Structures are given as C-alpha cells and as structure tokens.
Amino acid sequence: MKQQINFIQIEKDNAAHFEMASKLWVPFIEEVNEHDGTYKTKEQIADGLKKRISIQGRRKDMHFEIACVNGEPFGIAMFAIDLGTVYGLLEKGYGTIMGFYIHPKFRRRGLGTLFSKHIEAILYSDGARKMYICPDSVTGEPFWQSNGYVDSGKIDPDDKKPIYIKEIAEQIDFTNCEMIPLTQDTALEISQWEYEKPYDVYNFKGHPNDWLMDESTWGTEQFCLIERTTILGQVACQLDEKDLWVGWSMAPQFCGKGNGGNFVNRCVKELREFTGHTGRILLRVAASNQRAIRAYEKAGFSYVETIQDEIAYTNHIEDFWVMELL
C-alpha cells in the first residue's frame, strides 16, 4: 500500500488532538528523561503537554504537529521561529525544534527524515534560513547529524545540551508528491528547462529530444514527479531482463539546495510501486557530475563500473559511472 503522509496541527481545546498527542509525547519525555537520568510522572508530563498546547494559535510561526502515515500517528514535533537570542549565543530568527519524537515502531523507515524536511520547509516559509536544536545525546544526536546538523560548540544553559545548527534552503516537501504520466503540457514545460553552469550540458532547452516528446512512452517509460501542480522532476525507466534502468532530472529551480537525495529516494519508491520491480536498479551518471553522484550515494546507490559513451549533443566521448541500488 502506498504511504500517505499527513500532518495535523494540534489545536487547543481539542480533546481528540490531546489524546493523540499524549500517546506520543508521554513516551517521548520518558525516553529523554531516561537518557538524562531524570524523572517525571505521567501526570507531570501530561500537565506540561497541556501548557504547550494551550499556547497554540498565538503565533503563526509556532507549530505543534502530529505526523501520520496511512492514518496512524507516528511522530510529534513542536517547532517555531526563535524570537529571542538563545541567551546571546545565537542571533535572532533561527528556526528551532523544541521537541521531536518518532515512535520506535516507525523508526528506520525514513519517516523521521521526511518529518524533519517538512519542518524545515515550514520554517523556511516562515522566514528561517538557519535551524538549531538541542538533541537528546542517545537517539537525537546521531539522527540530526545524519540530516546535516553540526555541533556549534555552544551549550544551551537551560538543559545543558549542545546546540546543533544547520543552514537551510528552500525545501521540497516530498511527503505527498506523486508520479504521473507525462502529458503534452508537462513535456513541453520540461523541454524548456535550463540549468546553471557547469550543469548546462544537461539543458533540455536547445536540445531537441524526440524521446521526451514520444507519446507512446508516456505512462510506460516516462513520467513526471509532481507536488500539486508543480513539476518536481522528469522520471524515466526501462526494464532490461531482471534489472530496471532509471533516469531522472530534477527541475532546475530545486537543484543545488540539498534536495537531491530525497528526490532520488522518492523517484525510486514511486518507480518500484508502479513497476512492481523488487530487484536491482541501475543508473548511468557522468563521472564528472559529482553533485549527482553525491545525491545517488546518499540515496543508497553504489559504484559498479566506469564505461565510455558518446554524448550526441556535445559530440565527444565521456566517462560514465554505472551505479546500482540493491
């Protein structure tokens, strides 16, 4: 079954929201307290939760959300734009996460990263260009480090934990995008894509592409990844005996902003669901395109071999890496 992710903004005086939140917030605080060597009763934790919920709605840039997959709550987070100066340690305007928890049943499935990217996208739209968090040392620090947060060397004076920071750019929220067949309109839009140098060799514009415009491949080999009405990327696949060869191009406006790994992961997920292919996935990437290679490696692809091939639109021979995902 395809995963459907949605986020519920917790509302004060909503009993159903409080009940859902309690089932996640209580074990969250208990887990943190265990790691810190502190203790609070369930009643104390519930009282703290009520106080946090009671301030919802006062500010548009303060959020307290429950994350659900196929209707089942799997995580909870409180996040906002920091209005203070973190006791003079950081400048104003950081986005901050005051609490973040994924239920153990749903860990190591990529849902935590999806939730964190959703939070970054929301706070970016609220005006944040940097984030900070004071994570739990046992489960929190490894997770946030893997998502690009680095130890600032500063300690929060309240909870005595290190402050981790990260610069953020405009993020794509991949949680509810979908892959659909190319159409005349989407193919024409993609045919006008232009990339900044040195990636302009991958421009669609100015390079007539008969295959892109071949309607017989739309919905069988060629698709686009969309979020509502925005095209996030062009996606292609071809089955070669037991291997699925894939290729994709992310829309130029989203390149170079840390979206590559999540884009590739989503494309792989959509292609597996569409084709039913559970075996090896292969792709070919120019050896010189280190930005793409890093994104593929982050998504789990590994190097297989180097081959040489002629690039028709540049009339020269180039080295390519073949990479696989098992």
- pLDDT tens, residue by residue, 53-102: 999 888 899 999 999 998 999 999 999 999 876 777 888 889 999 999 99
Do residues 161 and 291 share a domain? no
Cβ atoms < 10 Å from Cβ of 87: 11
Do residues 76 and 135 share a domain? yes
Residue 46 falls within a domain, yes or no? yes
Do residues 261 and 149 share a domain? no
The mean of the pLDDT values for the chain is 90
CATH classification of the domain holding 182: 3.40.630.30
Do residues 160 and 195 share a domain? no
Q: Which helix (H) or strand (E) holds 319?
A: strand 316-325
For position 88, what pLDDT does the model report?
79
Do residues 143 and 213 share a domain? no
For position 228, what pLDDT does the model report?
79
- 115: containing domain: 5-167
Last residue of a domain, one of 167, 197, 229: 167
Taking only the tens place, the pLDDT of each residue in 156-214 is 888 889 999 999 887 677 777 899 999 999 999 999 999 998 888 889 998 878 899 99
- HSE-up (13 A, CA, CB side) for residue 181: 11
Do residues 21 and 163 share a domain? yes
pTM for the whole thing? 0.64
Do residues 117 and 82 share a domain? yes
Indicate the pLDDT class of residue 1, thresholds 50, 70 and 90.
Answer: very low
β-bridge mates for residue 285, sequence order: 321
- Look at residues 89, 92, 14 and name the one whose alpha carbon lies nearest to residue 49: 14
Domain count along the chain: 2
Q: Which residues of 131-159 are buried (b: 16+ CB within 10 A; e: fewer)?
A: bbbbbbeebbbebbeebebeeeebebeee
Last residue of a domain, one of 138, 167, 196: 167
| 232 and 217 Cβ atoms separated by less than 8 Å | no
Phi, psi of 125 (to 5 degrees): -65, -25
Taking only the tens place, the pLDDT of each residue in 259-316 is 888 899 999 999 999 999 999 999 999 998 998 998 899 888 999 999 988 766 556 7
Do residues 260 and 181 share a domain? yes
